[in-house]
Amino acid sequence: LEEITQRPKGDNKIQYLLTCIGFAVGLGNVWRFPYLCQTYGGGAFLIPYVIALVFEGLPLLHMELAIGQRLRMGSVGVWSSISPYQGGVGVASMLVSFLVGLFYNMILAWILWYFFHSFQSPLPWRDCPINISVNYFWYRETLNMTPNIETSGSLQWWLVLCLASAWCIVYICFIRGIETVGKAIYATATFPYLVLTIFLITALTLPGASDGLIYLFTLNWETLKNPKVWLDAATQIFFSLSLAFGGLIAFSSYNPQKNNCERDALIVGCVNSFTSIYASIPIFVILGFKANENNNNCQNWNILTLTNAFNIGVGNITLENYGEWLNYLNKTDPSEVESLNLKACNLQTFLEESASGTGLAFILFTEAVIEMPASQVWAVLFFVMLFCLSLSSMFGNLEGVLTPLLDLHIVPPWIPKEAFTGLICLISFAVALIFTLGSGNYWLEIFNSYVGSVPLLIIAFFEIIAVAYVYGINRFNDDIEWMTGRRPNIYWQATWRFISPFMLLVVFVAYVVIEAEKQPTYNAWNPDYVSFFFFFYVPL
């Protein structure tokens, strides 16, 4: 076995690992994983999550890093080399990377918009014309949303500027390919951990912090009887590791062939899962603080109502004795209490008010940060963290597009790589302008829900089938032994041959069944029709 064509290389192994970790660790670790924990019984969700990591995530991650390192090509070149009939798998992953990059960078543009506004005092989403100020600032001041997707609306100039800025930043960081990405990744991959640690230390001092932690780590074993818990755990670990995008294959193709890719897979996979758990702690602490504030506000409103209705002296009813007073008044004059229509104040109910995705970042957290001391500082730190997470993931998405195209030699040699990268960024910016329309958020939800879900499951299934049964598992084992110095053990053999393909098939079938059970709505813009399009037209 000889070294294949010379390729650029990163400066060192740490840089490579940070690049892979930065691509894998993204927004889903901060705003999707905590939501799933909150929805499915706190710590109990970790059981199916770890099982999915061991039998689905790590085997696929090891396989992609190994095959990219051995064949030293991007996704299209790798799968075409294995079999000409498998070339469509590489094209599909490249297409998905391109489409995901379109809406992912739009999220980066939103983050920039909020980041710029975080320096204002007071924060602009604190005092809006209506009571629900954070919702108003998000849906009206930021998105200026139309009533439905059929009403496109006009381009929002402030979002166009933020989107242009986001693509310029990506281009500057990517202008020399892996060489400049490697320099930027030191900041984008490590800074989020610093911010999370600062958030954790400070948030633990907030009132209600313990309520959030108790809610996170209280195990609700009954939720494990719900099949959807296992399905969501399997899909979360799959998408969290950024499998089947082609970015990991591209990054590993710059490695020297004599490199321990098994150890790399274990490090990247475990760091990614640790990050999800670590990020959940400050998020739940802040949610506990917000739930405590909402519960106190609710009780204070009731206290004021009771004080006025029963002519009780101001200050007699407090948060500490509110329950005792309410019980007493219910016994002495229940009809009067009932006529007041008091609010139902329950801390557990406020803790269960879950949100994920943009709802967590741009509504729930922005509402919580208003009540925090030095709110501008926390807002800036939070959005800088999201910026770093988004940017490092965008490196992988763009690499998953550029590397296959350059490996196919379809770009004339007289065109500099920097110019070609700029052209791809410019085309992406032009297409992504659809997300800056008044209806842009509807389009982004369609892309987010369907572009990066079913197609990736199908791509990963064909990837592992190609390696295990077309390329040949024995040949693959020989390659790994040559690269790492030892043959894959029985765990890797069993997962590659049987367990991982079976789990991917089960997840896909379960997804189709769940979608089929949904009540159909015959609307031209029904996301199910868009899902149908992507399912059958992503080239395989």
Residue positions forming the annotated binding site for Na(+): 22, 24-25, 29, 240, 272, 389, 393
Residue 12, phi then psi, degrees to nearest 5: -160, 175
Binding-site positions:
22, 24-25, 29, 240, 272, 389, 393
The Cβ-side half-sphere exposure at 189, using a 13 Å CA radius, reads 24
Give the separation between CA 439 and CA 151, rounded to whole angstroms.
7
Give the separation between CA 66 and CA 71, rounded to whole angstroms.
9
Whole-angstrom CA distances from 360 to 209, 297, 311, 347 are 17, 21, 41, 19
Which residues fall within 8 angstroms of residue 190, CB to CB, at 6 or more apart?
A: 18
Q: 3-state DSSP call for residue 157?
A: helix
Instruction: Tally helices (H) and strands (E) across the chain.
Output: 27, 0
Q: Which of 399, 123, 449 is nearest to 249 (CA)?
A: 399
For residue 136, with 0-12 CB atoms within 10 Å meaning exposed, 13-18 middle and 19 or more buried, which class applies?
middle
Give the separation between CA 385 and CA 22, rounded to whole angstroms.
12
Encoding tokens for residue 492?
């890797």
Asked if residue 126 lies in contact with residue 420, where contact means CB atoms within 8 angstroms, the answer is: no
* Cα-trace Rg, the chain: 25
Handedness of CA 432, 438, 439, 441 (dihedral sign): positive
Whole-angstrom CA distances from 213 to 210, 239, 345, 351, 354 are 5, 26, 20, 11, 15
Give the separation between CA 518 and CA 81, rounded to whole angstroms.
41
One-letter amino acid for residue 270 of the chain: C
Where would I find the H helices in 485-525? Answer: 490-494, 500-517
Give the separation between CA 318 and CA 308, rounded to whole angstroms.
14
Handedness of CA 173, 174, 176, 181 (dihedral sign): positive
